Structure 1
């Protein structure tokens, strides 16, 4: 069980990465101000957008949020208090019941029109070379201009008072990390077992990255790169205590009738590993 009231210091820097032919997008993380909140207290979570966990470059505005939920073992509440502060999206909520809570947020589609060459470069820039290779082999890569749309999904888990566990509940995000072991019990030298779902089904052979936030003044450590099993399962090794994230992107042709040619889904899960006592 996490006994931490540690507040995460967010390095907010000004600026947004603008595309010059090829645009580089950013991950979207949910970072709680505290991973343990007293019963009847206010739960505060920041939505961070960047490529350097857990910093943020720009705030996702509330109008872009399509889903914001607090999910417990047997309850599901909407988060209504959404705002921005500096470069962060801020979510505030007082759950009605105690227990472990999943915070789940979906950022709606954004559309980008680009050339076939720009799309290829985008896949490389975002670490999706496996998707580039796959669609090249299947002959599905575009040869003319396309419309690409992308959406992002963040999850985290917070202890609210004391009560039942909720870590393994599926919240039905299009691309979703579902813990199979309790992130609240994660310890150094252990593993966090997770399943990756796409449209509710296990996603096999996905490239997944896991990493820890650098301590103040320290250099970032290298991420761990994993591949999901046929059942969509990964085992994330926990090498040290601190704030962790797991993330992936999934690129697929857009369904028939969609207002785009390609869909890019981004998913993250954030959790805290307490120091060994």
Structure 2
């Protein structure tokens, strides 16, 4: 199983004048350790508010990484993009499991066609995380903010009727990502996590049922060639991870 990265608010909803705080987490099945802020691993970190975009500049070692007192009232969307990180595979089995999990199993044949080794090759990856948080009324809309891969919430879980489900769009390289796998992690109030898979339609849209009091992590991943076929010269694969977190009010 691959390790997801997500923004984990301490509280998804705060009263007017409250403080928004959130951790960076890495883990599996919506469970993972919190991490301190490391500037060298952060390419972009901001809060999109009803009054504009606020660039966030935590200090080295800050935890939680996001700590914003008295945010603008309405929907606040935290956005974080990591710098490129690297993982080295020492055997094909681990890479195959990753491909299978993220619905890119056809790349195993491409790997062989490119003449790449079955042992010792490198992948780079970048995480693109968003989180929907509410201050006061929670009114407002998420929007595309220009990430290389991005999940955009079409519905606002804090003010909209979710009887027809939560609606999200998956955007890659500025265009709708059609027929793409979306993984949904649903955490109940007692901490139990359910995992489901679905696919976007031809417009890059996915609609899924949600429950009051439950927390959600939505994930979609693209894996692509770096254009380098010499494993000794550098990374041969690059993956882009999009995540979105939110919680449905009771």
Tell me which interval the TM-score lies in, with the shorter structure as reference length.
Answer: 0.7 to 0.9
The reply on whether 1:250 has 2:222 as its aligned counterpart is yes
Higher strand share: 2
* TM alignment of 1:5-154, pairs within 5 A: 25-53=2-30, 55-57=31-33, 59=35, 61-63=37-39, 64-82=41-59, 84=61, 89-94=64-69, 97-114=72-89, 117-118=91-92, 121-125=94-98, 127-128=100-101, 130-134=103-107, 136=109, 142-144=115-117, 145-154=120-129
2: CA distance, partners of 1:138 / 1:56: 31
- Change beyond 3 A, Cα 1:131–1:164: same
Q: CA deviation at 1:214?
A: 3.8
The reply on whether 1:181 has 2:155 as its aligned counterpart is yes
Return 5+ residue gaps in structure 2 as ranges: none
Deviation track 1:129-186 (CA, whole Å, cap 9, x = no partner) reads: 631225626975552253310111211111223475132x111121110011222236
- Asked whether the 8 Å contact 1:62–1:89 carries over to 2, the reply is no
Deviation track 1:43-67 (CA, whole Å, cap 9, x = no partner) reads: 11111111131x3235254221111
The reply on whether 1:233 has 2:210 as its aligned counterpart is no
* TM alignment of 1:192-271, pairs within 5 A: 192-216=166-190, 219-221=192-194, 223-239=195-211, 241-254=213-226, 260-271=235-246
TM-score by length of 1: 0.76
Q: CA deviation at 1:27?
A: 0.8
- Change beyond 3 A, Cα 1:250–1:73: same
State how many pairs are aligned.
244
The two structures, once aligned, show a CA RMSD in angstroms of 3.0
